[in-house]
Structure formats: structure tokens, C-alpha cells
Structure 1
Amino acid sequence: MIAPGQCRAARALLNLSQKQLADAAGVSLRTVQGFERGDRTLHRLAMNAIERVLNDKGIVLITQTDWIGVKLKTSGNSA
């Protein structure tokens, strides 16, 4: 389950705007804005859609007992 700070951090790693994330996930811009501010909890479908978009772009959500975060998976291939 993604936290608001993880969403902001993931977008920053991917250089995605709130609008780009909202469009890709099929949710409203207000949904993303409210969630990231902590004003709104996401419905399960919206949360799954946002997590799926981020995951497809290489984001791994890290949730442990004493901390949370995100990391960006790279292919590891050099060009």
C-alpha cells in the first residue's frame, strides 16, 4: 500500500507530474493531489492503478517496520 510520501518520491525519480501520473493511472488530478497532500485516502482501485503505473515504470515500493521508501529499478544494461 503506497503512502503519500512514496508517491511524491516516486514521481520525482521518474520526473512525472501529478497530471501525468493521474492520466496514466486513469484517476483524476484532484485524486493524486489530495492523496499526496494527505487530505484524501485512495479507494482500492485508484491505489492499485497508481501502484501499477509506478511499478511498470520501474518503481519498487519499500515498506518495512521502521521505514518506508522507494527505489527505481534500472535495467543494468550499459548502452
Structure 2
Amino acid sequence: MMYWDGSGWVWMALMPVLWIALIGLVVWAVVRLTQHSAGRHDGMGSWLPQKETPEEILDRRFASGEIDADTYSEARKRLAAHRPRPQ
């Protein structure tokens, strides 16, 4: 004959809490893994969008047809002239 000490209710109460925690952990992991990877980490668990350099903005605008080749080359020259020189 088996004796039961009556502690089964603890497991019955604890099991839904464990499942909720497990599902929450899986959702958190999926969100973290699917976040946009272009950016930088702010040290507090969040990603900050990476800022485009002026050259990248100019390249994007030229590639999309917003500016023509003459404007592009002139802007490139101006950017190069104002770029700080390495020491």
C-alpha cells in the first residue's frame, strides 16, 4: 500500500508557473535573435540604429537616382576636402 503525504498540490501549483516561465524565455530568445543586426549595442540590452556616414548617404542617393553623376562627383570632392586628416 502506498502512502501519500499530500504535497502533490505544490507541484500542481508550480507546474503552470514553470510553463509560463519557459514560454516567456522562448519568446524572449526569439525576439532577441530576430532583431535587426545592423546597429550597435547600447550596453543596456538594446540595439541602437547605426548612423550612416555622409559618404554612405551620398552613395545611396546616387544609386537610387536622386542625384546625377556630376552632382555626385562634386559632393564627393567636397566631402573629401572637409574630411579630417589622420595625424
> Would the TM-score normalized by the shorter structure come out above 0.5?
no
TM value normalised by structure 2: 0.24
TM value normalised by structure 1: 0.26
The higher-RCO structure (CA 8 Å, 6+ apart) is 1
Q: In proportion to residue count, which structure has more helix?
A: 2
Q: In proportion to residue count, which structure has more strand?
A: 1
